[in-house]
Every structure is written in C-alpha cells, then in structure tokens.
Structure 1
Amino acid sequence: MSTNNESEATVSLDNTKGHFSVDTELHQGFQLGSLVIEPDLGVVIRNGQRYHLAPKAMEVLLFLSSTNGEIVSREKISQFAWGDNHTSKANVTHVISEIRHVLDDHKECPTYIQTIPRKGYRMLLPTVAKSGNSIWPFPADQIDQIGVTEKKWKLSFSLLKSSRLINASAAYLVVSWVLLQVFSIVLPIFDVPPWGGK
C-alpha cells in the first residue's frame, strides 16, 4: 500500500451491517495538501499553527479524508459519526462548518471540502497517510500546494460574485449613463448655461 512514503487511505462499507471502517494508518496522522492532521491528538496543523478540532468533527474529517474523493451522502456521515443515518441534517452541516473553520476552507471557494447540492460532500485533495519513516510536515516539494495569492483571488472573486455589490454597481452605472443622456438633451432645450449642466 505504500509508495514513496505515501499511502492511499481507504474506507470500506460492509453493506450488510452498514458498518464503516477507516484505514488504521490514518489514525496515526495524515496530510491534506499543506495541512497536517493528527486525529489521535485532535489537532490540525495549518501554517505552522496548531488548531484543536472537536472529536466528532475529527471523526467526520477522518471519514471524508478516507473516501478518495468520492461523494459521501449526509446519511453515510450520520451513520459513521452518530451511528444513525436519521440524524438531523443540521448536525452534519454544523460539523462540516466546524471543520471548514479549522481548515480555513470556504464553502463558496472550497480547497478541501466541496458541497455537492442534494448529494453530500466530497474531499477535493488526496490524503497522504503518515508512514513510519516520514518527517512531519512533509517537505514543500512533496506537497501539492495551491498558490496563496491565487486562492485569495478566487475567494475574493467568489465572495464578490455572491454579494449584491456587482448588481448594485451595474445598476448605478446604467442609471448614471441614462441621466447624463437625458440631461444632455433636456438642458439645451431650456437654455441652461454650460455651468448649469456641469
């Protein structure tokens, strides 16, 4: 399962019993892009800073990270984390929000967890499990990093697009242009001096 100090994480589901099992290697630690996750310690290391993640949120992050980018329904997450697939959707949404906060991920412009409407969630980056002879965190040349500047621009644009600022700005420009056209036609009719038009 290991190649070049990397191993794929796996999760399996026994369809007869509805039991999920996560690869035990992931409990020792894994990496998502430039993040280092230590599930047994409940810690996420981001930009050299340690952030605590609640046990239930860590379970869900561990589960999502072990699915190899497959879409995971809310029911499966509920079954895994709470042992009941009829748990309130609000519970899953709250836990995903908590994970996103710690990962510094944004729903509008995700880097780690993508929301698939009416289907569930999907982990966008591959999971690299910790191996016995690895040093944490991995060297920068082994990490599939996303440029910080590019991420900021994507986030800024997506937030701007989702806000009403663009619509308001466009409406202001159109109304201003129409008023200028009307004034340029109406003012000469009433012999308004040039300084009045200005």
Structure 2
Amino acid sequence: MKDDWYKVIGLIIVTIVGGCGIGAALHLFVTLPVGAKGPEWLAASGTVATLSVTIWLATTESRRRRKNESLLAQLHGAAILNQVERAHQAVSTLMTGITFQSVGVTVDSNFFAGHVENFESLELWQMSDLIPLVALPHETAAKLAQANGHLKSLVPILKRAAAQWDAQVTSRSSISQQVLGRAAVLRLLLRDAEDVCRTQQVKVKLHSPLDGQRQG
C-alpha cells in the first residue's frame, strides 16, 4: 500500500513538473516576436523536445521497474504455492478433526501429537522469500508473514494439548477453543494467499515458452 502511494506521488510530481515545463516552453513560442530569428526558434524547440524526452524517460523507467517487479512476484508466488497449499491443508485437517470429533473422529493426545509432527514437517517460507511478493495484490506478503508467525506459535499449543488432553478432561473444551481460534485465523490468511499464488502460477504457465510450444 505504501509503495502504491509512492508511485502515485511520483506520477503527480512528474506530471506537475512536465506540465510547468511544457507551459513555459509554449510561453516562449507565444512571446517570441514575429520576426524572431532561426536560433531563437531553435532554442525554444529544443526546450520543448528536452522536456518531452525527460518526461518520457522518467515514465518509461517507472513502467519498466513495475513490470519487472510484477514478473518477479509472479515467479516467486508460483514457486511458494506448494508450501502454502501444504500449510493450508494441515490447518484445515486439524480444524475438521476437532470440529467433527463427535461423528467418528477420535480426538485424544495421539491426535494432537500427530498434528504436531505434521506441522513440524512443514517447510515454511522465510522472510527473504516474501520480499519479492510485496508486489502481489491483496497484501499477500503481509498475510504470509502473519501466517508464518501463527504456524510457529501453533505448534507449542498443540504440544500442550497433547500433554494435557487425557489428564485434564474438564479443560478439553478450553483447549479445543484455543486451537480452533488460532487455526481459524491461519486458514483465512492461507486461503487468501493460496488463491493469489495459484493465480500467479497460472500467469507464469501462460507466459512459459514451453507451454506456448505445446499449444502451437
């Protein structure tokens, strides 16, 4: 969001400066005497041309940079999709097991211990993986950063649940709510991020030379 504001402000500044410059150059043309000599006309024309080229170069560089950032984000979003999918699936399976324990799912210390093992086996993305994703829409990089922290904090909660579930029957409802509360936040974050990353994977495939050759 902050980067978008910087881009808007930069565009406004370039527009104002360019407009003032072109206005000043046009003023030169208007105020030149009717009998002005060639060098005076050439100087005025050169001023307009210089300002036009400067504005064009500034906007071209900005467009090129945004395009490169977008392409890099697409590649990294597609690359991280499998990790996000695995984490999302792990969270959904955990929530389903606790929510529907009354219809045949046995929730006990082994249930939580198994999920501890499952979550610890996840290959989580690092902060360095998220930097290129800043250009993705819907604040995907920020959501994945939040999800990373929630996933790491969920494991100790599951370990406590595994240790206390069988011994503290009266606390089971509280334990379940604690796990479900953290998992629900995670599922929302991961679902949104997964949708965006899957879109980036589709875009990468559409622009892949190999896919283009297959379609041809």
Scaled by the length of structure 1, the TM-score of the pair is 0.24
Q: Larger helix proportion, structure 1 or 2? A: 2
Scaled by the length of structure 2, the TM-score of the pair is 0.22
Q: Larger strand proportion, structure 1 or 2? A: 1
Larger radius of gyration: 2
Higher relative contact order, structure no. (Cα contacts within 8 Å, ≥ 6 residues apart): 2
